[in-house]
Structures are given as C-alpha cells and as structure tokens.
Amino acid sequence: MNQNKTLVYVLGGIVVALLLALVGVLAYNFGKSDSSNDDVSSRVDTVVVEKRQAAPMTSAAPMAEPEPEPQVNPLSLNDWHLTGTIAGKSVVMDLYNNNGVLTGSYYYAKYKPSSTLQLNGSVDANGNLYLSEFNTNNGYESGFLEGRMSRSGNLTGHFTNYRGNTYRVNLHLN
C-alpha cells in the first residue's frame, strides 16, 4: 500500500512539473511582441522540449526526437567560401563551381589577400576534388590539393607542394 502511495505522489509531482513548465513556456511565448519572427510550429517545438527537460519519463514511451534540419548539398552550390587550415596554418579559400569545374583562389590569413594563389580543378558527384595551385608570379603549377567535400560542408584531404611535401587540409564551407 505504501508503494502505491509513493507512486501516486511521484506521478503527481511529474504532472505538476509538466504543467508548470507548459504554463511558463506559454506565458513566455505569449509575452513576446507580435513583431517577432517566431511561427507557431517553433513555439510548439519549444513546449515539447521544455516538457522533456522538466521531467524525463523513463517508464513511458520515449518521445520522438525532432528531425534534423535538411542540409544543402554543397556540390549544388556555385560559390564556395571556405575557411580552415592547410598544414595547420589558417587559410581563406573562394571557389566557383561550374558543373564540376572549379576555379578560384586562396590565401594564408597571415599574409592577407596580398599573396593570393590561383586554383583550377574539378569535383565529381561524390565530392572528390582535385585542385592545381598556380603561382601568379610565374604561372607554373606550385602544388595540388586532393580532397573530399562532405555533405556537411567539410573539405578534408591533403596538399602537396612543388617540393613534394604533403600537408593536411581541413576547411569548412561558410
């Protein structure tokens, strides 16, 4: 009999906590000005999240997680602005994708855009890419980059300079 009373008290506490969380969220959302850009579905999502955080229920059926927002396939974009590192040094890269043909440039952040290196290459439907680097002073190929662009916008691979030294490439689409 004492176990039943304890269970009733625990369940009652959970219900009260859920109701308080719901009332708090609703009061907060209704208190916002009408000029906010929030839509009704985002308010409903907020209420569900607040309920889950207020009193997780382990014995009941689990609540469905919200679906992740769809990602845009970077291969479908024409302009790529990437930042990250080559050989551990900060770089900024801009590429133009014209149906798999890549052109653009990059520079090491330390030197700013004053020493820009030209890039030409290609990318396939799986995100595998190959870029040749050209020194603008003499027009010769000074290195090449091989890598892969993931659906999340990460470009990883390696860069090989004209001396044959190879370095890691970690860039992210911005």
Q: What are phi and psi of 88, to 5 degrees?
A: 75, 0
d(CA 173, CA 153): 5
Q: What length does the chain have?
A: 174
Same domain for 45 and 83? Answer: no
Condensed to tens digits (0 to 9), the pLDDT of residues 143-172 reads 999 999 998 899 999 999 999 999 999 999
Question: In this structure, are 104 and 49 located in the same domain?
Answer: no
Residues 103, 169, single domain; the answer is yes
Q: Is residue 78 located within the same domain as residue 140?
A: yes
Three-class SS of residue 47? Answer: helix
Closest CA to 101 of 72, 75, 83, 140: 75
Same domain, 90 and 14: no
Could you give the number of structural domains in the chain? Answer: 2
Whether the Cβ atoms of residue 102 and residue 82 lie closer than 8 Å to each other:
no
Residue 65 lies inside a defined structural domain of this protein? no
Give the whole-angstrom CA distance, residue 102 versus residue 129. 9
Residues 87 and 148 in one domain: yes
The kind and range of the H/E element at 19 are helix 2-31
Provide the whole-model pTM.
0.58
Could you list the residue range(s) of the whole structural domain that residue 136 is in? 74-173
Residue-wise pLDDT tens digits, 14-51:
765 555 555 565 555 555 544 444 444 444 344 444 44
Q: Do the domain assignments include residue 61?
A: no
Beta bridge partners of 158: 146, 168
139 and 78 together in one domain: yes
Residues 89 and 125 in one domain: yes
Domain membership flag for residue 63: no
Strand 154-161 relative to strand 89-98, pairing: unpaired
Domain match, 89 and 150 both: yes
